[in-house]
Amino acid sequence: MAVPKRKYPKARQGKRRSHDHLVLTGLVPCPQCHNMRRPHHVCPVCGTFRGRTVIEQKAPKKKEA
């Protein structure tokens, strides 16, 4: 089995791992409801995409007292 010849510094390990971080996706405002959504995706709040209603949203349930 292969074994490293010497212990490499933590700086080299950090430089190698510097690109392993998560990247936040860019968000754009929805033209209908102005909530933030992912580009090229259906708005999860109002259900519109390219000016058309793609997903019918359910009305919020009202609690009876």
pLDDT in tens, 23-36: 888 999 999 899 99
**Looking at the 3D structure of the chain, how many domains does it have?**
1
Q: What is the pLDDT of residue 37?
A: 92
pLDDT in tens, 4-59: 899 999 999 999 999 999 988 899 999 989 999 999 999 988 889 988 888 887 77
Q: Kindly report whether the global pTM for this prediction surpasses the value 0.75.
A: no
Pairwise CA distance, residues 45 & 38, whole Å = 12
Q: What is the pLDDT of residue 65?
A: 65
Pairwise CA distance, residues 41 & 43, whole Å = 6
State the residue for tokens 């430089």: 15
Task: Indicate whether 41 belongs to any domain.
Answer: yes
The pair of structure tokens assigned to 52 is 């058309």
Q: What is the pLDDT of residue 50?
A: 87
Q: Which domain holds residue 35?
A: 26-58
DSSP, collapsed to helix, strand or coil, labels residue 53 as strand
